[in-house]
Structure 1
Amino acid sequence: MTADNRLPRDAQSILELAARSMFDLFANASEGMMLVDRNARVVWINDQYRRFLPALGFDREEDFVGHPVSSVVQNTLMHQVLATGKPILIDLLNNKAGTFGVSRIPLRDDAGEVIGVLGIVLFDHPETTLQPLITKFARLEQDLNDTRRELASQRRTKYTFASFVGSSPGALEVKRQARRAAQSSSPVLLLGETGTGKELLAHAIHAASPRAGRPFVSVNMAAVPDALLEAEFFGVAQGAYTGADKKGREGKFKLADGGTLFLDELGDMPMSVQVKLLRALQEGEVEPLGTNKLVRFDVRVVAATSRDLKQMVREGTFREDLYYRLNVLPVRVPPLRERRDDIALLIEALGEDMAARGGGPQLELTPDAQALLAAQAWRGNIRELRNVLEQLALCSDSHHIEATQVAAVLQETGLAAVASWVPAPEAGRARPAAPPGAAVAPRPLPEQIAELEQQAIRTALVHTGGNRTAAAKLLGISRASFYDRLAGMVNASEFQANV
């Protein structure tokens, strides 16, 4: 503190005395004091402060005094006080020695220039009156760190390409295309019916891309009201409209900065938002609602839809320019009816996941039961298959599932009759097709199941190149059981000879 020349001599003396008294009071009553010079070097500490040196990692005072304060005291704000000239009267400081209540006061010369900073440790013991504040500070800091970790985990991908179960030609091809797309920065458009695994592939593409360490953010167009989509994409400035968050809100483009933005159910996006989305993708910047400020971003877009975007473009319900902007790397995800060879693997994978989530035993389906499931059209694809398996788990007293139980659940869920799917006929025995529009008379269930079982065995042998042991393993039955069923097939020897 400097003397004020405008004051009478007696007043100046009193002021100087008060400054000395205040300094002596703090020096004796506080838990420690230090001084730094205009170069932010520690130039003095008092006796009380010396007791903190071992906890800070210093055995000798000369290893502390004379060194830059930032190198000897963690999380110090002395530099800030030197730069701004503004005191920090009460603050909480965390470092190796503990948590402290501190003050930092700038020191000025006669010209008013900041020549140093006085640091005062006010409290350091848990039993002091500041302990509730210190405890609250520590708890808030812990909550903040937990929230950050939770947000970071939510922005990570949940799936990889290993999560996309299947070894059929269709499954292998879609994974090949998706892996190639992962190495590009161009937009990817995933096309396929609902329930085929488009969202899983979007996660996998991000996880295999150079952006894997950055956020993965998704927006489901069908789940967000049209009026809120702009705010969801572009963000909202502080106080942009009545009811808006007082602190403002970042949009998904900004949240995904450096990573991947997944646009699910793209065909449900309203035309008004399509225009602004196209501009954002072209310019690489967005304008949050309620502000004129442009915010730059760097995201890779992966979009998915179960709708026919080409038809929507022709009908004028989807912008042609946006379609071509996003349809750079199209990947068609085949429906389950085109991947019947994968159904056995999917049943096993879905069963494992259901058992892990529910804590019960994994479902074990007989070959007849699996063949019956393979016969379905699966309009809901893998999602529908999982639904049926979950119903089987809930409706069955045992985890061993027979074909009759599957048939009952299929009938209850209203799925198409098994007879609506006709397996490929045996070599040299073509089945006559029913006349167009003619009703197909239902055949006895055992006959249908036997037929499906034979088709499953044929498919397994073709898939394994005639290796019966591998075919039995693929079907989930013993080798002896496989041989028995193979021997009972019509023209089995002819079929085996042709494999």
Structure 2
Amino acid sequence: MEKTEFLNNEVLLDSIFESVYDGVVIVDSNGDIRYMSDNYCRFLKVEQSKVIGEHVTNVIENTRMHLVVQTGKEEMTDLQFLRGDYVIANRIPILKNKKIIAAIGTIIFRDLEEWKKMNSHIKGMLSELNFYRNEWKEINGSKYSLHDMVGNSQKITELKEQVLKISSGDISVLIRGESGTGKEIIAHSIHLLSDRSEKRFVKVNCGSIPEHLLESELFGYEEGAFTGAKKGGKIGKFQFADGGTIFLDEVGDMPQHMQTKLLRVLQEKEYEPVGSLQSKEIDVRVITATNRPLEKMIENKLFREDLFYRINAVQLFLPPLRERREDISILVKHFLKKASTRIRKRVTSFQPEVISIMEQYDWPGNIRELENVIDACIHLSDNEVIETDTLPEYLRTQTWKVEERSLREIVEETEKKVIERVLKRVNFDKIKAAKALGMGKSSLYEKIKKYQITD
């Protein structure tokens, strides 16, 4: 039987599936639905005739069917949250001549009373798991995993594979990429996948700490080391991370005298607290990140060449968003769901024109800028569907140039517009506005003063 004939023979498929599974869906290689069983349609409360040809993500929440036809990897007995409950889902790719032509997905929710009992038990376990996970994150310091690096483009897929390969060892890693590309997510992921995952993950932003405080912040100090030093001294970030991982973000901003001290830590596995006469041994994995051209800085004697080779045992490059445009629509849906849940506003989708505009824009601020724009769109939208008029003007016109305005200026302009619109909507009731914006009243007053917003 030909593929198309089989997929379109609903009578045959119904007779097979309705008595065996509680829900069956078949998608083609594009992720479009070619068949959905009556049971599944009733469960989802959709009409079978209307879902055929729709992309599976528009019909089934939290689905992964469209990913299975891309990866070719089956997913068995996976818990899927669907219509307020968990169901057991299986997803299997269909191959012909070693080529993926479709995928079949099944769900189980039969024996409703038993399922409700099991579902309640699962929810209870997941709730308990989330509690301990959050508690562990507070102690451990790591809050991102590789699942937070959203995207299916070739560059992101290859990056994830690299992370999986190098995480288990103690090799130093240098993460490079433009601002806003997600370097911190990669650092967290390496730690979580390493043998040090049960120990602390400590982040230090080398560019945000004043130069005269950086040494004591990293290596701590002894009592009486300087005027104002705490009684008993203070441990530094390296000692705090002992046994775990330290992430030095913006390492290119580290002053040269501190580069020398960092080199000693990497070479000798020891350091000296400020004011101490003795060295202390340290066992810590060092991950660094920068968006600065270190090679050029070495030529200009601004960065030590020997330190560069120490931190550069493995380099990971994060591509800018403009080089992975195929991920934009996936990221947009991800941030829409995340932001609408946080803001508690029902916004479910975008006009196709909005997605098209976003895919054409170069995103100089990368993922961070994209997330800020989506946040603003949700606040500004009066409907469930985000329309083009909610986009910032520079996006609609596509005339903005990187050298003309900084990302901060763009974000501040968008933030001002959002606050003004919300204030007008609640007749300048600042308490209601603060609640709608998800910020404290004092923070709102500061923003109103900063942007000189008047009623």
TM class by shorter-chain length?
A: 0.5 to 0.7
Equivalent position to 2:301, from 316, 339, 343: 316
CA distance in 2, matches of 1:150, 1:291: 35
CA distance change for structure 1 residues 286 and 235 in 2, over 3 Å: closer, same or farther? same
Equivalent position to 2:202, from 199, 203, 217: 217
Query: Match for residue 480 of structure 1?
Result: none
Regions of 4+ moved over 3 Å: 149-152, 411-417
**Is residue 377–residue 416 contact of structure 1 (8 Å, CA) maintained in 2?**
no
Equivalent position to 2:213, from 223, 228, 235: 228
Secondary structure, aligned partner of 2:361:
coil
CA distance change for structure 1 residues 413 and 251 in 2, over 3 Å: closer, same or farther? farther
Shift of 1:410: 2.2
Secondary structure, aligned partner of 1:249:
coil
CA distance in 2, matches of 1:165, 1:276: 36
The amino acid that maps onto 2:170 is S
The amino acid that maps onto 1:207 is L
The amino acid that maps onto 1:324 is Y
CA distance in 1, matches of 2:319, 2:362: 13
Unaligned runs of at least 5 residues, structure 2: 1-133, 403-455
**Is residue 388–residue 409 contact of structure 1 (8 Å, CA) maintained in 2?**
no
Equivalent position to 2:390, from 401, 405, 428: 405
Query: Is 2:271 the counterpart of 1:282?
Result: no
Shift of 1:156: 2.8
Query: Is 2:305 the counterpart of 1:306?
Result: no
Equivalent position to 2:226, from 232, 241, 265: 241
**Is residue 373–residue 392 contact of structure 2 (8 Å, CA) maintained in 1?**
no
Query: Is 2:318 the counterpart of 1:333?
Result: yes
CA distance in 2, matches of 1:213, 1:294: 26
CA distance in 2, matches of 1:282, 1:261: 16
The amino acid that maps onto 1:223 is S
CA distance change for structure 1 residues 177 and 278 in 2, over 3 Å: closer, same or farther? same
Secondary structure, aligned partner of 1:331:
strand
CA distance change for structure 1 residues 288 and 150 in 2, over 3 Å: closer, same or farther? farther
Query: Match for residue 264 of structure 1?
Result: 249
CA distance change for structure 1 residues 244 and 411 in 2, over 3 Å: closer, same or farther? farther
**Is residue 372–residue 407 contact of structure 1 (8 Å, CA) maintained in 2?**
no
Equivalent position to 1:203, from 168, 175, 188: 188
Query: Match for residue 156 of structure 2?
Result: 171
Shift of 1:382: 0.2
Query: Match for residue 353 of structure 1?
Result: 338
Shift of 1:396: 2.0
CA distance change for structure 1 residues 237 and 356 in 2, over 3 Å: closer, same or farther? farther
CA distance in 2, matches of 1:415, 1:214: 45
Query: Match for residue 160 of structure 1?
Result: 145
Shift of 1:300: 0.6
Any idea what the Cα deviations from partners look like across 1:422-463, whole Å, max 9, x if unmatched?
xxxxxxxxxxxxxxxxxxxxxxxxxxxxxxxxxxxxxxxxxx
Query: Match for residue 252 of structure 1?
Result: 237
Shift of 1:155: 3.2
Unaligned runs of at least 5 residues, structure 1: 1-148, 418-499
Shift of 1:393: 1.7
**Is residue 361–residue 395 contact of structure 2 (8 Å, CA) maintained in 1?**
no
Query: Match for residue 72 of structure 1?
Result: none
**Is residue 369–residue 404 contact of structure 1 (8 Å, CA) maintained in 2?**
no
Secondary structure, aligned partner of 1:301:
strand
Shift of 1:293: 2.1
CA distance in 2, matches of 1:213, 1:415: 46
Shift of 1:404: 4.0
CA distance change for structure 1 residues 181 and 391 in 2, over 3 Å: closer, same or farther? same
Q: Provide the aligned length of Structure 1 versus Structure 2.
A: 269
CA distance change for structure 1 residues 362 and 185 in 2, over 3 Å: closer, same or farther? farther
Query: Match for residue 27 of structure 1?
Result: none
Query: Match for residue 370 of structure 2?
Result: 385
CA distance change for structure 1 residues 412 and 224 in 2, over 3 Å: closer, same or farther? farther
Within 5 Å, which residues of 2 pair with 1:126-165? Answer: 153-165=138-150
The amino acid that maps onto 1:266 is V
Shift of 1:414: 7.1
CA distance in 2, matches of 1:174, 1:355: 29
CA distance in 1, matches of 2:253, 2:381: 39
The amino acid that maps onto 1:290 is G
**Is residue 264–residue 305 contact of structure 1 (8 Å, CA) maintained in 2?**
yes
Secondary structure, aligned partner of 1:173:
helix
CA distance change for structure 1 residues 367 and 300 in 2, over 3 Å: closer, same or farther? same
Shift of 1:412: 8.8
CA distance in 2, matches of 1:407, 1:232: 40
Shift of 1:151: 9.3
Identity %: 42
Within 5 Å, which residues of 2 pair with 1:477-496? Answer: none
CA distance change for structure 1 residues 292 and 356 in 2, over 3 Å: closer, same or farther? farther
Secondary structure, aligned partner of 1:236:
coil
Query: Match for residue 276 of structure 2?
Result: 291
Larger Rg: 1
**TM-score, normalization by structure 1:** 0.52
Query: Match for residue 183 of structure 1?
Result: 168
CA distance in 2, matches of 1:413, 1:260: 42
Equivalent position to 2:351, from 366, 373, 377: 366
